[in-house]
Structure 1
Amino acid sequence: MQKLFSMFPAGPPGVALLLLRLCLGALLFVDQTGRIAWPMPVWLAIGSVLAAAAVAVGILTPLFALVCGVLELAALAGMAELGAPWEVFNLILAIAAALLGPGAYSIDAWMFGRRVVVLPPER
């Protein structure tokens, strides 16, 4: 499982990754005018809620960020030209979150983060 994550930076980079994850989760529901994107198909709404919640709290972040990207591609396929740049921007945000990982302020970091290995003294 450790290979799924790169690092778990803390401090300002960790806060930046937290903000990136929160923005990605929120932008799944907002259209290019800044309003809640409704109506949407039920499968897309359920998938968006699950993926947004998982990304926001940082559970299997790279995997669910890619799911967010697939949902953005699905939304892009059914959208007019007007909203296409917005969906492409959201897709790039999802790819960035998938590649960068969750950061220190996530459930992933708590479950799979840095460990202290204590070796027994030599005899």
Structure 2
Amino acid sequence: MQRLFSMFPVGLPGVGLLCLRLAAALSLWLAMQSTPLGFPAMEWVLEVAGFLLVIGLATPVVASISVLLGIYGVIESGGLAWECMGSTVLVALALALLGPGGYSVDGRLFGRKSVVLNGSGEPPVRKP
């Protein structure tokens, strides 16, 4: 799973990626509310995808799925929903390429760890 993420920045870049995740989830929810869906299970999939984007779990995978769902929304509407879905697709694509950031579940699970070596013969301690 580590290969999916380039890094997990904290500080202002981490906050920026958190805002990008929130924007992707919100724009996905709003765009799909205004676009007629082909089948009812799609609404459930979109709600789960939006929630996973907000908390930052499996972010590159979910963002890639969001890109595909956005393209599906444009195709399903006959190109009429491009105004709504264009920004959703671009934000989700940027998020899929950048990763979740340090303030996410992915960052907590797969982020950088530091190993502190003790000179007392005890096993090393991993700190997040």
What value does the CA root-mean-square deviation take over the aligned residues? Answer: 2.0
Q: Which of the pair has the greater relative contact order for Cα pairs under 8 Å at 6+ separation?
A: 1
Report which of the two structures shows the higher radius of gyration computed on alpha carbons: 2
Query: Which structure features the higher share of strand residues?
Result: 2
Residue matched to 2:41: 43
Residue matched to 2:30: 30
Residue matched to 1:8: 8
Contiguous gaps of at least 5 residues in structure 1? none
Contiguous gaps of at least 5 residues in structure 2? 120-128
Q: Number of matched residues?
A: 119
Pairwise CA distance, 1:120:
6.2
Tell me the TM-score normalized by structure 2. 0.83
Distance in 1 between residues matched to 2:96 and 2:36, nearest whole Å: 27
Distance in 2 between residues matched to 1:42 and 1:71, nearest whole Å: 14
Distance in 2 between residues matched to 1:67 and 1:15, nearest whole Å: 23
Tell me the TM-score normalized by structure 1. 0.86
Contact 2:36 2:77 in 1 (8 A): no
Contact 1:47 1:71 in 2 (8 A): no
Distance in 1 between residues matched to 2:35 and 2:88, nearest whole Å: 17
